[in-house]
Structure 1
Amino acid sequence: MDSLFPEPSKQVPLAHSLRPKLWKDYVGQTKVTEQIQKIKKPTSVLLYGPPGSGKTTLAHLLADEWKLPKRFLSAVTSGVKDLRDVMEEGKSLGTIALFLDEIHRFSASQQDALLPSIEEGSLILIAATTENPSFRINRALLSRLQVFRLEELSHSENEQILSRALQVLGAQVILSDSARRELLSVAKGDARKLLGLLESLMHSHTEGDTIEASDVEAILNVQVLAYDRNKEQHYDVISAFIKSMRGSDPDAAILYLAIMLEGGEDPLFIARRLLVFASEDVGNASVHALPLAMATWQAVERLGMPEARIPLAQCVTFLASAPKSNSSYMAINQALDFVRRKDFSYRIPNHLRNAPTATHRKEGAAKDYQYPHNHPGHFVLESYFPSDFADKNPQFYDPKPQGMEKNLRDQLRKLWGEKRYPDP
């Protein structure tokens, strides 16, 4: 445990060996590095970002700058005993820097174990996570950490890292232009993946050989999508999926559907979201939406994958392409807000009450009710609101002049007049 990071050697991964030792050599995350370098006094931090974005390197640079004894633990392989050993060492040394990788894998009680040492200053925690800390890190611990969010590295930033690696390696590896493009393409912003692939290519070729794009393709397994059905990516993708349908872009929506299905998402979860969307966002602008979404849910339930992708795709493209209205969704929300008011009360007027017995009828229940079907056009001008509303009848439903809902608006305007349903 003498060093957080071993010195470069042939035994450690290439990504580890080529890790920058100076701030000027660090690539990417300009905004974050500027903020971090302003921290003059050692303080506990949380580095949050996707794999291969530079979290471990930032931890290394910080620990070196603060000139503290440094230790490394991974939450994947460590437990409370390991933490206690480091914390005891911190007390004996005065202060120690602990880089804790994958901290989100620690349980709540394991995270709590860090609090006393952080509070008293014997432990400077430099934690790293790929998960949203709001979901996976205890509030008590999070309040004691300065959080920095790292972004996925850009293509040009990964290109700088690859160029620097090739410069250091010299004649050990020769990449053709096509192989270089292929490597950068499959790395997708992950510097560790980029250098790991480069290392695999080195091990499968003799020094001086030229590596071609076909060689890169040969070492790649089936691509694993950056999608986790139980974590942040799940919420981000479903959010983009819903917003793409709401924005009437079937191509973007079908792309996110493919990402979810390929990432192992439960197709019934997707079908349930389509049911909600059909009413919330399409509504009465297309009354076919809800029956189609319901049929899609049943089809997915009966078919299973891979066939379920077909009705899902049909429903997604229809909902994305259909005219939109959230009028019914807004109507129920506004009505619920209305009845939840502290001053809300209501009394059903007699003409609208049920009259199942003679006693009810004696009280006047249902008296003077006008049956609409006995009137021309099956409509009679009548008040259906509670008695004590007087003339202050609220309007919750405002049908939009969109798709089939336009017909509903025209019909309601004809019945109730332009004052209640004016031109939009």
Structure 2
Amino acid sequence: MDSLFDRSPLPHRIRPSTFSEVIGQEKAKFQLQKFREPVSIILYGPPGTGKTTVARILGKIWNLPFVEYNAVTTGVADIKKLLEKAESGGSILLFLDEIHRFSSSQQDSLLKGVETGRLVLVGATTENPAFRITRPLLSRCQVLKLDPFEAHEMKEILSRGISHLTPSPSVSEGAREILVRYSGGDARKLLSLLEGLSLSVEPGTEISGKDTEVFLESRVLEYDQTGESHYDVISAFIKSVRGSDPDAALFYLALMLEGGEDPIFIARRLIILASEDVGNASVYGLPLAVSGLHALEAIGMPEGRIILSHVTTFLASCPKSNASYKGISSASSFVRERGTALNIPNRLKNAPTHLHKKEGAGKGYKYPHDFGGFTDFEYFPDDLSENPPQFYRPTRNGMEAKLREYLSGVWKKTKGKDYE
């Protein structure tokens, strides 16, 4: 039971003190058992997955003085003082929350202590360490990933939280399902919601699904516009459009918009996708995406969400082709390998003056429209003309099938280019 004088948040009050009390995270606990001696660790995982809990338990197991800093409010001077203390009094376990917010120079201040073992670092981050932790520090630490809790684990955590409230409320199965689903694998969020919900209803009454829905409607959707989740959601959005699933795409679009994402950022990504993934399979995709951006800038939000939905559903429903994207990538690789010092033949050069014409610029060029729109001609430099490379390989999808048919008809007979 809670002490009447202990009004710390519920997640803190019921924090496990041993690994046997930790629900879930079986893979992480298995790895942690291998660390028989103190070792510096980077704990990487979403919020509410137990990073602080793991650090505190390790401090007890290794019997080390435990110091907790947050990278947002900690500087190099604090680290230096801690190192001086460790040098004179023995090793210290430093739990550095949000370590990804430390700059490169701040992270470098940790190296000496970690190297000598005087500072046993347990860093916590929601960002991928490979992107946000410097290589020298990363090489001196073990990396341990904590996963979001599964639904059955969240239900067990919820039951534990209910039993530690005073008085212990009655929570309907419907309410439990909603809380677990809304918390998205974040145990701290789940327990905080439970505590707030229990205070919002009359004591002694059962918390219903309706009570829970009303309570959650007043809360702001949590969405990190700068963290890794920002990139994860836009990635899921783009992949859904590319995969021709308009419903999943709209789900991620709504998640971003409700979370406060910059709609211009979304519109720009859709423009890129229109060329990269739709391309010539539907030539209306790019103009629509560009028009969507202009319309969004003119209209603004919240009506702009309709424009984004319009563009998203069209692009998701289009035939797809990445032939243009692959074509420029292939051509760029070819140019990088051969270099850019290619001699442009005279027949392809412009002849704006009499002197240029005298030097032969433009001589021999065949104007296609004089031959019905196409004529056999060599556009590559002479040293590539015998075996000209082929970069663009149109698909049979959507409108690109017509382009494929045309190109095959005019080039296969003359230059042997195979577009079939």
Distance 1:101 1:405, change over 3 A: same
Aligned to 1:399: 394
Q: 1:261 aligns with which of 249, 257, 262?
A: 257
**Within 2, Cα distance between the matches of 1:108 and 1:9?**
42
Q: 1:139 aligns with which of 135, 138, 141?
A: 135
**Within 2, Cα distance between the matches of 1:387 and 1:341?**
18
**Within 2, Cα distance between the matches of 1:157 and 1:140?**
36
Aligned to 2:305: 309
- Verify: 1:349 aligned to 2:345, yes or no: yes
Q: 1:150 aligns with which of 143, 146, 149?
A: 146
Q: Residue by residue, what CA displacement relative to the aligned partner does 1:282-324 show, whole Å, maximum 9, x if unpaired? A: 1111111111111111111111111111111111111111111
Aligned to 2:223: 227
Q: 1:383 aligns with which of 378, 381, 406?
A: 378
Distance 1:24 1:386, change over 3 A: same
Q: 2:17 aligns with which of 15, 21, 26?
A: 21
- Verify: 1:87 aligned to 2:73, yes or no: no
Tell me if the contact between 1:90 and 1:123 (Cα under 8 Å) persists in the aligned partners: yes
Distance 1:115 1:278, change over 3 A: same
Distance 1:105 1:389, change over 3 A: closer
CA displacement at 1:253 relative to structure 2? 1.2
Aligned to 2:283: 287
**Within 2, Cα distance between the matches of 1:372 and 1:172?**
84
Distance 1:346 1:61, change over 3 A: same
CA displacement at 1:423 relative to structure 2? 6.7
- Verify: 1:42 aligned to 2:38, yes or no: yes
Q: Residue by residue, what CA displacement relative to the aligned partner does 1:86-117 show, whole Å, maximum 9, x if unpaired? A: 33332232111122222233344333322222
Distance 1:43 1:315, change over 3 A: same
* Secondary structure, aligned partner of 2:149: coil
- Verify: 1:340 aligned to 2:336, yes or no: yes
Aligned to 2:160: 164
Tell me if the contact between 2:274 and 2:286 (Cα under 8 Å) persists in the aligned partners: yes
Aligned to 1:413: 408
| Greater mean alpha carbon deviation, residues 12-21 or residues 212-221 | 212-221
**Within 1, Cα distance between the matches of 2:198 and 2:250?**
39
Tell me if the contact between 1:52 and 1:191 (Cα under 8 Å) persists in the aligned partners: yes
Distance 1:84 1:202, change over 3 A: farther
Distance 1:351 1:187, change over 3 A: closer
Q: 1:177 aligns with which of 173, 180, 183?
A: 173
Tell me if the contact between 1:73 and 1:101 (Cα under 8 Å) persists in the aligned partners: yes
Distance 1:150 1:359, change over 3 A: same
* Secondary structure, aligned partner of 2:144: strand
**Within 2, Cα distance between the matches of 1:32 and 1:282?**
42
CA displacement at 1:41 relative to structure 2? 1.4
Q: How does 1:314-333 map to 2 (within 5 A)?
A: 314-333=310-329
**Within 2, Cα distance between the matches of 1:421 and 1:384?**
13
What TM-score, normalized to structure 1?
A: 0.90
Provide the aligned C-alpha RMSD in A: 2.5
Distance 1:408 1:121, change over 3 A: same
Distance 1:27 1:304, change over 3 A: same
**Within 2, Cα distance between the matches of 1:247 and 1:395?**
27
Distance 1:310 1:420, change over 3 A: farther
CA displacement at 1:169 relative to structure 2? 5.1
Tell me if the contact between 1:8 and 1:18 (Cα under 8 Å) persists in the aligned partners: no
| Greater mean alpha carbon deviation, residues 221-230 or residues 263-272 | 221-230
The aligned length equals 417
Tell me if the contact between 1:76 and 1:102 (Cα under 8 Å) persists in the aligned partners: yes
**Within 2, Cα distance between the matches of 1:340 and 1:209?**
72
Q: 1:70 aligns with which of 66, 71, 82?
A: 66
**Within 1, Cα distance between the matches of 2:317 and 2:101?**
41
CA displacement at 1:39 relative to structure 2? 0.8
**Within 2, Cα distance between the matches of 1:143 and 1:216?**
46
Q: 2:274 aligns with which of 263, 278, 283?
A: 278
